[in-house]
Structure 1
Amino acid sequence: MTRTLYLISSAAPPARQASTGIRAAQARGWDVCLILTPSAHRWAAEDLAAGDGLGDLEALTGHPIRHQYKLPSHQDVLPAPDAILSAPTTLQTLTKWADGHADTLALGLLTEALGLDLPVVALPYINAAQARHPALPRAVATLRGAGVRVLLHDDHEPVGFTPHRPKNGNVDAYPWQTAVDALPVVAP
């Protein structure tokens, strides 16, 4: 039985390597649908010229890449999710999600997932200065309290992302596999 994973990527540098996360999830048996925030979509559209953009991601997933709400009269082109992975997750996405904002498709799906009791994993990508923002601990606590596994390495989570010095992130070290490993196991 194939289960569907929504990979929701925010505009952080690892979003440009979403294919790494997609392949890791597919290797675990997930049918992956990619949803991008509007800014992450703009980055992917720009990558078309480099040959690693939206068309390649659609071919990899076998699904259209979504980034905005559909009209109510239109059919949904994606199967319903069985789990959600928000990666990379920015400070903005974490704080807006925790406050219940749904002004983008990505945030709408994330906020709704909490009420649907779907397994949800979030793997942030933030720098140390952003990690010191007073809204972050509240957002992480709110999301964890709602059942989201926020993989931000701290006293409550032994694995996940450790914030880096500003302008010194190592995109190649982003722990996609850690996030995929935190998802429920897909039965063969």
Structure 2
Amino acid sequence: MTTRTLYLISCAAPPARRLEIPIRAAQQAGWDVCAILTPAAYRWASEDAEGEVERLESLTGHPVRYQYKLPSQADALPDPDALLVAPLTSNTLHKWAQGISDTLALGLITEGIGLQLPIVALPHWNNAQHAHPAVESSITTLRTAGVTVLLGDNGFVPHRPRHGDLDAYPWQTAIDALPTTV
């Protein structure tokens, strides 16, 4: 059986505190999972959650990446066959839709569009952020580029500010949206 590699790219939103859930689910579905965090998500994992980075590395068997490597350094991760961006914050949504790649996470997902990789994005933001007029156009831009954005009845439904339910975050919906073959 050929190994399929999934990059789980996570932004600093509350579901990033539970990355073991999608990692285990993706592994059950036959994926070799690599965790890539935005700098803010990495800070949460390394400073706020004792030993979290090490736990993620132990669970995946790969280093957790959050910044670009130097040109002289070898790649630490296998090439991806698919990308799962979850949780996706509104900040990363808008930068991604504009093609900004000022972090490793953004660089990988902007490049992923050009490489025509299967990309699934599972947002996490509140309904006040969702009401901003730029949200609809950024989502349309990504969907037009081939990204599966799981928002609304078939994905994440924005909540009232400070009323998110981590137990309701639809990780399995995102795993199920990944391709079964690559």
TM over 0.5: yes
| Cross-structure match for 1:162 | 157
For 1:46 and 1:22, locate their aligned partners in 2 and report how far apart those are by CA, in whole Å: 21
Residues 30 and 186 of structure 1 are in contact (CA less than 8 Å); yes or no, is this contact kept in structure 2? Answer: no
Question: Cα RMSD (Å) of the superposition?
Answer: 1.0
Mapped partners of 2:136, 2:49: distance in 1: 36
1:84 and 2:83 equivalent? yes
1:96 aligns with 2:91: no
What percent of counterpart residues are identical? 64
Deviation at 1:2, TM superposition (A): 1.0
Asked if residue 174 in structure 1 is aligned to residue 155 in structure 2, the reply is no
Deviations 1:48-97 (CA, angstroms, capped at 9, x unpaired): 42x5x000000000000000000011001000000000000000011000
Q: Which runs of 5+ in 2 are unaligned?
A: none
- Inter-partner Cα distance in structure 2 for 1:105 and 1:133: 26
Residue 5 of structure 2 corresponds to: 4
Gap runs ≥5 in structure 1? none
Shift of residue 47, structure 1, vs aligned partner:
4.2
Q: For residue 45 of structure 1, what is the aligned residue in structure 2?
A: 46
Residue type of the partner of 1:109?
L
Kept after mapping to 2: 8 A contact 1:151/1:160: yes
Report the alpha carbon displacement of residue 106 of structure 1 after superposing the two structures with TM: 0.2
- Give the corresponding residue for 2:136: 137
Please give the TM-score of this superposition, normalised by the length of structure 2: 0.97
**Which stretches of structure 1, 4 residues or more, deviate above 2 A after TM superposition?**
46-49
